[in-house]
Structure 1
Amino acid sequence: MKLKDLYSFLKKDLQQIEHQLAVSVSSDQPMIHTAGMELLKAGGKRIRPVFVLLSAQFGTYNIHQVKKPAAALELIHMASLVHDDVVDDADMRRGRETVKAKYDSKIAMYTGDYIFAAALKLMTDIEIPRAHQILAQGMKEMCLGEIEQINEQFDTDQNIRKYFKRIKRKTALLIALSCQLGAITSKADVSLQKMLYEFGYCVGMAFQITDDILDFTASEKQLGKPAGSDLKQGNITLPALFTICKYPEFKEKLNLYYQNKDSELLAELLKDIKSLGGIEYASRISEKYLNRAKKAARSLPDTDARDSLLKVADYIACRKF
Structure 2
Amino acid sequence: MEKVKLKLLYSDIKPELDMIEKELEQAVDSESPLLNDASLHLLQAGGKRIRPVFVLLAGKFGNYNIDVMKRVAVPLELIHMASLVHDDVIDDSELRRGKPTVKAEWNNSVAMYTGDFILARALEYITEIEDPKLHQILSKTMIEVCRGEIIQIEDKYKLDQNLRDYLRRIKRKTALLISSSCELGALVSGADLKTAAHLRRFGYFIGMSFQIIDDILDFTSSDEELGKPAGSDFMQGNMTLPVLCARKDQAIYELLKNNLQKDMTDEERLTIVKTIRNSSAIEEAKKISEKYLEKALEELSYLPKSSASKTMRKIAFFIGKRKF
Given the two structures, how large is their TM-score scaled by the length of structure 1? 0.97
Q: Supply the distance in 2 between the matched residues of 1:65 and 1:275 (Cα, whole angstroms).
A: 48
Please give the per-residue CA displacement for 1:86-109, whole angstroms capped at 9, x wherever unaligned: 111111110111111111111110
Asked if 1:106 is matched to 2:109, the reply is yes
Asked if 1:255 is matched to 2:257, the reply is yes
Match of 2:286 in 1: 283
Q: Supply the distance in 1 between the matched residues of 2:98 and 2:199 (Cα, whole angstroms).
A: 33
Asked if 1:42 is matched to 2:45, the reply is yes
Match of 1:69 in 2: 72
Please give the per-residue CA displacement for 1:23-76, whole angstroms capped at 9, x wherever unaligned: 100000110011111222111000000000000110111110110110110000
* 3-state SS, counterpart of residue 2 of structure 1: helix
Match of 1:58 in 2: 61
**Runs ≥4 residues deviating over 3 A:** 259-268
Match of 1:185 in 2: 188
Asked if 1:160 is matched to 2:163, the reply is yes
Match of 1:126 in 2: 129
One-letter code aligned to 1:133: Q
One-letter code aligned to 1:215: D
Deviation at 1:274, TM superposition (A): 2.5
Q: Supply the distance in 2 between the matched residues of 1:259 and 1:87 (Cα, whole angstroms).
A: 15
Q: Supply the distance in 2 between the matched residues of 1:15 and 1:262 (Cα, whole angstroms).
A: 42
One-letter code aligned to 2:251: E
Deviation at 1:259, TM superposition (A): 5.5
**Identity rate, percent:** 52
Match of 1:202 in 2: 205
Deviation at 1:18, TM superposition (A): 0.9
One-letter code aligned to 1:293: A
* Structure 2 segments unaligned to the other structure (5+ residues): none
Asked if 1:115 is matched to 2:118, the reply is yes
* Structure 1 segments unaligned to the other structure (5+ residues): none
* 3-state SS, counterpart of residue 259 of structure 2: helix
Counterpart contact for 2:63–2:190, Cα < 8 Å: yes
Indicate how the Cα distance of structure 1 residues 121 and 260 shifts in structure 2: closer, same or farther if over 3 A, else same.
Answer: closer
Deviation at 1:276, TM superposition (A): 2.7
Counterpart contact for 2:241–2:285, Cα < 8 Å: yes
| Higher alpha-carbon deviation: 275-284 or 51-60 | 275-284
Q: Supply the distance in 2 between the matched residues of 1:261 and 1:33 (Cα, whole angstroms).
A: 34
Q: Supply the distance in 1 between the matched residues of 2:67 and 2:261 (Cα, whole angstroms).
A: 54
One-letter code aligned to 1:316: I
Counterpart contact for 2:237–2:261, Cα < 8 Å: no
Match of 2:269 in 1: 266
Please give the per-residue CA displacement for 1:171-218, whole angstroms capped at 9, x wherever unaligned: 011000000000110110100001001110011001000000000001
Q: Supply the distance in 2 between the matched residues of 1:40 and 1:143 (Cα, whole angstroms).
A: 21
One-letter code aligned to 2:178: I
Match of 1:314 in 2: 317
Q: Supply the distance in 2 between the matched residues of 1:259 and 1:77 (Cα, whole angstroms).
A: 28
2:92 to 76, 89, 94: 89
2:139 to 136, 140, 146: 136
Deviation at 1:249, TM superposition (A): 3.1
* 3-state SS, counterpart of residue 32 of structure 1: helix
Counterpart contact for 2:157–2:261, Cα < 8 Å: no
Deviation at 1:275, TM superposition (A): 2.9
* 3-state SS, counterpart of residue 159 of structure 2: coil
Deviation at 1:298, TM superposition (A): 1.7
Indicate how the Cα distance of structure 1 residues 260 and 7 shifts in structure 2: closer, same or farther if over 3 A, else same.
Answer: closer
| Higher alpha-carbon deviation: 81-90 or 35-44 | 35-44
Deviation at 1:250, TM superposition (A): 2.1
Indicate how the Cα distance of structure 1 residues 7 and 260 shifts in structure 2: closer, same or farther if over 3 A, else same.
Answer: closer
Deviation at 1:265, TM superposition (A): 4.0
* 3-state SS, counterpart of residue 258 of structure 1: coil
